[in-house]
Chains A and B, each alone.
Chain A
Amino acid sequence: MRFEDLLGDGRLWGTIFDGKEKDALSELFDKWEDLQWLKEFFETNWMDLKAYFKITDVNQAIYDTLDDADELRCLIFDIGPEDRPANLFRHLEDYRTYEMTLGREKTKGRATGISHPSWLRIYAIRLDQDAYLITGGAIKLTYKMEERSHTLEELHKMECVRNFLLENGAHDLDSFIEMNQEDDL
């Protein structure tokens, strides 16, 4: 497993999983702008699209994804030296109210000009208050990540990266205690 400094300033990192050439964020945007991939994805998951978002037109879903992905890319691209990447992310667990080292985080598309909430998600591990490591992302059409294999896989990827960091000593005593508390919830 290797890591790429995405913005070149050490604040936002991307995981390069073994056997992959590109970092997780680049792979994600490659998919989100690949028309063939998008068409196949929404045709496979059209029942979720209909049930959760009341959308029956696959092409509308594709155009919404393209627009939302463009906006999300701009948001990340525009993180300036004075901005905090932390403003982009929030805890993956909605119930968690405290910050923790190696916490699981997410950011969503902003869905500006789109008639439904965004289904785009980027997942990351918080390295410290101003540094995040992106592990992947997904088009999340269901309520829980565990409901579909492609979002469940993202949970596994996050855990895999987190375990790599833990096994290689990337934690101190305080964060270790916090993590155990989270696991008890």
Chain B
Amino acid sequence: MTKAIDLVRKNQTDTPGRWKASAEWRLKNRKWLRYSQEIALRALDKMEASGLTQKALAEKMGCSQQYVSLLLKGSENMTLETISKLETALEIDLIGQALGHDCAH
């Protein structure tokens, strides 16, 4: 073993393999994570186009700004209720049309 590895081992955390576990989780949940990312990007685009701040969006949705920030990162497993609130607050269609509904009603 080289001195460099010795030194790294002496200063290591007690949580080996944490990155691998996290990567495994992301790989397993890849499909809905991508949906979450696509929703976040569409929301960000609409917010930018209409000059809506996170604070204003939070007020419209009736939730905290911290939660909105989490949604906009694209890693949140949103409920249908949350998606509906987002659609209403931003006046956009996210999943309504895919399900055969007119989101305006």
- The answer on a CB contact under 8 Å between A4 and B13 is yes
Q: How far is it, in angstroms, between the C-alpha of A86 and the C-alpha of B105 when the chains are bound?
A: 57
Q: How far is it, in angstroms, between the C-alpha of A7 and the C-alpha of B18 when the chains are bound?
A: 8
Q: How far is it, in angstroms, between the C-alpha of A10 and the C-alpha of B27 when the chains are bound?
A: 22
- The answer on a CB contact under 8 Å between A35 and B74 is yes
- Shortest distance between the CB of B19 and any CB in chain A (Å): 4
- The answer on a CB contact under 8 Å between B2 and A127 is yes
Contact A5/B5 with A34-B75, A59-B41, A66-B37 known, Cβ cut-off 8 Å: no
Q: Is A148 an interface residue (CB 8 A)?
A: no
Q: Is A68 an interface residue (CB 8 A)?
A: no
Q: Is B8 an interface residue (CB 8 A)?
A: yes
Residue with the greatest number of chain B CB neighbours at <10 A, chosen from A3, A16, A29, A102: A3
Q: How far is it, in angstroms, between the C-alpha of A35 and the C-alpha of B44 when the chains are bound?
A: 8
- The answer on a CB contact under 8 Å between B3 and A23 is no
Q: Is A88 an interface residue (CB 8 A)?
A: no
- The answer on a CB contact under 8 Å between A36 and B22 is no
A interface, by DSSP: helix, strand, loop or mixed?
mixed
Q: Number of residue pairs across A and B with beta carbons under 8 Å?
A: 115
B interface, by DSSP: helix, strand, loop or mixed?
helix
Q: Which residue of B lies closest to A70 (CB)?
A: B30
Q: How far is it, in angstroms, between the C-alpha of A4 and the C-alpha of B14 when the chains are bound?
A: 8
- The answer on a CB contact under 8 Å between B8 and A36 is no
Q: How far is it, in angstroms, between the C-alpha of A6 and the C-alpha of B2 when the chains are bound?
A: 19
- Among the listed stretches A113-121, A137-145, A151-159, A169-177, which one makes contact with chain B, having 4 or more residues with CB under 8 Å of it? A169-177
Residues of B within 8 A of A101 (CB): 2, 4
- The answer on a CB contact under 8 Å between A36 and B13 is no
Would you list which residues of chain B between 24 and 41 have a CB under 8 Å from chain A?
24, 26-27, 30, 33-34, 37, 40-41
A contact set with B: CB distance below 8 Å: 1-8, 10, 13-14, 16, 23, 25-26, 29, 33-37, 39, 59, 62, 66, 70, 73-74, 76-77, 101-102, 127-128, 131, 133, 165, 168-172
Q: Apart from A6-B18, A35-B40, A170-B4, what are 15 other A-B pairs with CB-CB below 8 Å?
A: A2-B13, A3-B11, A4-B18, A6-B20, A8-B17, A16-B13, A29-B26, A33-B74, A34-B73, A35-B37, A39-B41, A73-B27, A77-B27, A127-B4, A172-B2
